[in-house]
A and B are shown apart, each in its own frame.
Chain A
Amino acid sequence: MRRHGRARSEGHTAWVKYYQSPTDGFVINYWNPAPAGEREALTSQNQTAKNWAAQYSGVLRSNWSMEAAFASYSSQLFVGTFEASGKLANAPLFNEADSKYYNGATYDGFTDRPRQQFNLASNWFLTPGGRSHDVKVGLDFQNMQSGAEFKYPNAQLYDVESFSQATGAMVPIERDDFQTGPSVSNAR
């Protein structure tokens, strides 16, 4: 989806743009090399980019002009449960009997890499002593972040000796619990 607007008046121009590209509805078997044993073991994936930008430039006086710009970019991906089983808080389990995964998706998480930037500059045109000067002063700013979190649904993985798809009955071996929390790094 794209949206943009533009306004002009004598000596002034401003525009705003917005863009997003959602690509939703992927269903992926991320279990590898062991296959998913049922629909509940598949992973849902949605992804998008969201960008918007605005800019102004104008002549404020006969010898003074200014420009300013702001932009925000974001690239996001979300993964999670495709079809909830309603059992074990949708955590996946590995069935040793047939070497397949059941009950839960491979991933529950996201990646997000937002970036913002801001630029401001001004020009003055002067003629001190009859000599022409173009003086420019400005400010640039940029902020970036990279964040990701990938975990099993409910941050748990079951290892079972046998599992019955029909009844949900299983003979457990062990349950692994994982620490959760996004990994986020920053730059500015």
Chain B
Amino acid sequence: MTAIFARDKFQLTKRFVAEAGLRWEKQTGSSDIGAQTVNTNVFAPRLSANNEEKFINNNVAWCGATANAACATAVANFGKAGGAWIVPDAAAVSLLADLPLLKGVTARWGLARNAPGRRPRARRPRA
């Protein structure tokens, strides 16, 4: 198998990243009597886009579009009190469970297509 590829990953906006590439791949094979068993020649273009929505910055949970003091306090005190770690109280756990998202969310769209330049041909072995 021999392949050559090139791709460009570029930033369209602060959060939107696109990727475009092309891969050419050739495979050949021969049997023990020298008959060709595989001969493929494939161009594979790739195109994808990635949009990242971040809900965590600097380890601070996002507590909504507007300031939410109760949420921020619950996050800040989660699992600790006065320097000693404790089991969080039920109210804090409940509040944290109601947070919309505590992880980064990545949306991704992709497109990849294998375009055979030459389809493999079945060959009859020599007698």
Mark A residues whose CB is within 8 Å of B.
131-142, 183-188
Q: Is the CB of B38 within 8 A of A141?
A: no
How far is B6's CA from A185's CA once the two chains are assembled, in angstroms? 31
Q: How far is the CA of A140 from the CA of B25 in the complex (A)?
A: 9
Interface size for B (C-beta < 8 A) is 22
Task: Indicate if the CB atoms of A188 and B7 lie closer than 8 Å.
Answer: no
Given contacts A140-B2, A142-B1, contact A185 B30 (CB under 8 A): yes
Residues on the B chain within 8 Å of A134, using CB: 8-10
Q: Determine the residue in chain B with the shortest Cβ distance to A132.
A: B11
B91-109, CB < 8 A from A: none
Query: Which residues of the other chain, B, contact A139 by a CB distance below 8 angstroms?
Result: 2-5
Contact B10 A132 (CB under 8 A): yes
Partner of A185, one of B3, B4, B29: B29
Residues of chain B at the chain A interface (Cβ within 8 Å): 1-12, 21, 25, 27-32, 37-38
Taking a contact as CB atoms closer than 8 A, the residue among A131, A132, A135, A186 that contacts B6 in the complex is: A135
Q: Shortest distance in angstroms between A125's beta carbon and chain B's nearest beta carbon?
A: 10
How far, in angstroms, from A188 to B28 measured CA to CA in the complex?
5
Please tell me if the beta carbons of B6 and A136 are within 8 angstroms of each other in the complex: yes
Contact B38 A131 (CB under 8 A): no
| Residues of B with C-beta under 8 A to A138 | 4-6
